[in-house]
Amino acid sequence: MLGPVSRKSLVGLAAWPAFAALTVLVVLGHGAPLAPDRGLHAWSLAHRPPVAAAVARGLTDTGTGVVPYALAVLAGVIAARTRRQRGTAVLLALGCLVLGQVARFGVMALVGRARPPHADWQALASGWSYPSGHTTTSAMTAGLLIAALYLRSPRGRGVLMALAACWAVGVGLTRVFLGVHWFTDVVGGWLFAAGWLCACGAVAARWLPGRPGPGAPGPGPADPSGDAEGPLERDTAEDPRRRGGARPA
C-alpha cells in the first residue's frame, strides 16, 4: 500500500504532465474555448438568478486578497510542532503561496488567453484567463491547510480537510458561473496548484519533521517553550551522575 509521501509524489507526477497537455491544447487553439468551455459557459448564462450570482460573488472574493494569505499563515501555525518551528513553517507556507503566484503570472503571460466576452461577466476581472488566478490561489491555500491538518491535527481533521477542499472547488466553479473564466482555465488552475504544492512539500520536508508515528510523544506539558523534551532528558540534565559524572565513593 502506498504511504502518504508516495501518494503525494504520484499526484505531483500526474499533475504536471496533465497541466502541460492542457496548456498545449489551449495554445494550439489560440485560446479559443474548448468543447466543455462552450457548454458550461452557456449553461451558466441560462442559470444565473440574481441571488445565486450574489452568493457566487461573495464566495469568489475569498479566493483572492487577504483571505488566502491569512489561511496560509494559519496553516503554518498548525503545521509547526513547537513554537520554535512556527516562524519557519509560516514562512514556508507564505513562500509557497507567493512563489506560486509569481509562477502562475508567468504562465498567464506566456499563454495570453482571452477571457469570455465581457458582456457575460457577473464579477470584476482583469488580466489573462489561463490559468484562473482565483482558482489557483484558493487551491494552493486549501492544499496548505489540508497538509497542515493531516500532519498535526488528529481529531476532527477529516471534516476540516473536506471543508477546505470544498471551499477551493467552490471558488473555482464560481469563476465559470460568473462568466469570467472558461472551465479549462479552472481545471488548469487546479492542476497547476496540485503540482506546485507537491514541489513545495518536497522542499518543506527538509525543514519540518514528518508526521509523528503512533504512540510518539508530543511536546511535554511542563515545557513552556513547547519543545518535545521527555522526562528522561530532564532527569539527565538535573542528575550529573546520569551524564557520566563521578559517582560517590
Q: Read off the pLDDT of residues 115-153 as tens digits, 9 standing for 90 and up.
A: 999 999 999 999 999 999 999 999 999 999 999 998 887
Q: What is the pLDDT of residue 207?
A: 61
Task: Extract long-range pairs of 79-82: CB within 8 Å, 24+ residues apart.
Answer: 79/147, 79/148, 79/151, 79/152, 79/208, 80/152, 80/208, 81/152, 81/208, 81/209, 81/212, 81/218, 81/219, 81/226, 81/228, 82/219, 82/225, 82/226, 82/227, 82/228
pLDDT computed for residue 7 by the predictor: 59
- Report residue 93: phi and psi, to 5°: -65, -45
Per-residue pLDDT tens digits for 187-243: 999 999 999 999 888 877 776 555 444 434 444 444 444 444 444 344 444 444 444
> Taking the CA atoms of the chain, what radius of gyration do you get in angstroms?
23
pLDDT of residue 201: 85
Q: What is the pLDDT of residues 70-123, one digit of tens each?
A: 999 999 999 888 888 888 889 999 999 999 999 999 999 999 999 999 999 999
| pLDDT category of residue 12 using cuts at 50, 70 and 90 | low
Average pLDDT, the chain: 83
